[in-house]
Amino acid sequence: MPDATSFEILKTRDIVDVRAVIRAGGYQGHTAGLAPGRLQTNLAILPQSMAADFEQFCRLNPRPCPLVGMTEPGSPMMPGLGDIDLRTDVPTYNIYRDGVLAETVADITEYWRDDLVGFALGCSFTFEQALLEAGIPMHHIAADRTVPMYRTNIETMPVGPFSGGIVVSMRYVAPDQVARVTEITSAFTWAHGAPIHVGDPAAIGISNIEAPDWGDPPCGPADVPVFWACGVTPQNALTNARPPICITHTPGRMLIADIDDRKNATIN
């Protein structure tokens, strides 16, 4: 019988149970397919001295950085998104120091400081349930793998120390389903919206689709590659900005909110 904290079991549970397991340190895997119907978000935490520039960076780059929540300085809580504690409610976190990845941990309580500000940014995992309901397979979920993510040559609009290329996530889609996938995902403006590129990966600077920069190699039938702006983009920007400390989610391991994933979407 599968362990109660396994992906196989957790994907059948509601957000209360899923968050309780993550908060207790019992699950450190990817969150694609977990808590269907709830908004999944990327996480960025940085010093208050850089927060205003980062907020403006998100406002000016809403496709890769759709800002859905922000904490008060020094508070790890984000009540607008639910019963959330940023210190414990992500499966694993990356700790960056001066722009360099220093370590990956499952709890950031000991790293929390009174000057930190947390940002929640919408994630493309959010629209995957709508695609599944439309009969469009999500091969990475079926295979219990993390969606592949790639750096591109598409630049963001810089603000202060924050700049860099857009990161994209990719899902293979059958040719006759691309139009429907675009229609469905365009409604999820909190979750990156419609694809930003369809087809040839080289056109956006990806030289080898089998070697993603984050996540697992693509799986499923090698149909049409469809690319969405990805919330790992801020990690690129934060690396370039080199704050003395920055904490993010580990790619693929998201902060799941209590709010309805379709609160800001109109599905036809």
| 19 & 109 share domain | yes
The answer to which of 15-24, 173-182, 258-267 has the lowest mean pLDDT is 258-267
Percent of the chain with pLDDT over 70: 96
Residue 130 maps to a domain: no
| 82 & 207 share domain | no
| 100 & 206 share domain | no
Structurally, the chain folds into a number of domains equal to 2
CATH of the domain at 210: 3.30.2040.10
| 157 & 213 share domain | yes
CATH of the domain at 25: 3.40.1640.10
> 175-193, pLDDT tens digit by residue?
999 999 999 999 988 888 9
Residue 22 maps to a domain: yes
Percent of the chain with pLDDT over 90: 71
Question: What is the domain range of residue 256?
Answer: 7-124+237-260
Are 198 and 130 in contact by the 8 Å Cβ rule? The answer is no
Residue 268 maps to a domain: no
Within 13 Å of residue 99, how many CA atoms lie on the same side as its CB?
11
Q: What Å distances lie between residue 28 and 66, 166, 221, 234, 262, CA to CA?
A: 25, 26, 28, 22, 26
CB-CB neighbours of 161 under 10 Å: 16
> 130-173, pLDDT tens digit by residue?
899 899 988 988 888 889 999 999 999 999 999 999 999 999 99
Residue 156 maps to a domain: yes
Specify the pLDDT at position 267: 42
